[in-house]
Amino acid sequence: MDELARVTAATVDVLRVLSAGDDACWGLRVIKGSGRPPGSVYPILERLERAGWVSSAWEAENDRPGPRRRFYKLSDGGAVAARAVIARFDAKSNASFRPTGAQA
């Protein structure tokens, strides 16, 4: 598993959605859960997969109408790394937030 060269707020949002459950989820669910546009989410998912953080698979043929869905799931190492990235991002965000009138 490779380290991510760049971690943006959008990457963290995608990791949060993927970390939220044990089941794989399809791209549209990641888009809706993260609140990010498809043009951001799919490249992030592709980067995560190339780095070994995520695996993906097309759903088997079924009777559901509509196009096949691609399901994404964090790898075991990706899940551990995602939790660490999210925690660092949250700690950094909380440290930089100072309410009005707070002493430095």
54 inside domain:
yes
Residue 4 inside a domain? The answer is no
Average model confidence (pLDDT) across the chain: 90
Domain count across the chain: 1
Whether 41 is in a domain gets the answer: yes
Residue 2, domain member (yes or no)? no
The pLDDT, as a whole number, for residue 56 is: 97
Bigger pLDDT: 6 vs 12: 12
Which structural domain, as residue segments, surrounds residue 38? Answer: 9-93
What's the CA gap between 82 and 50, in Å, rounded? Answer: 15
- What mean pLDDT do residues 30-58 have? 97
Integer Cα distance of 18 and 64 in angstroms:
23
Q: Is residue 104 part of a domain?
A: no
CATH number at residue 39: 1.10.10.10
45-96 pLDDT, tens digit per residue, is: 999 999 999 999 998 877 788 888 999 999 999 999 999 999 999 998 876 6
Spell 12-47 as b/e; 16+ CB within 10 A means b: bbbbbbbeeeeebbebebbbebbebeeebbbebbeb
Q: What percent of the chain has pLDDT over 90?
A: 71
Q: Is residue 82 one of the residues assigned to a domain? A: yes
Tell me if 46 is assigned to some domain: yes
Alpha-carbon gap, residue 67 to 48, rounded angstroms: 23
Is 29 a domain residue? yes
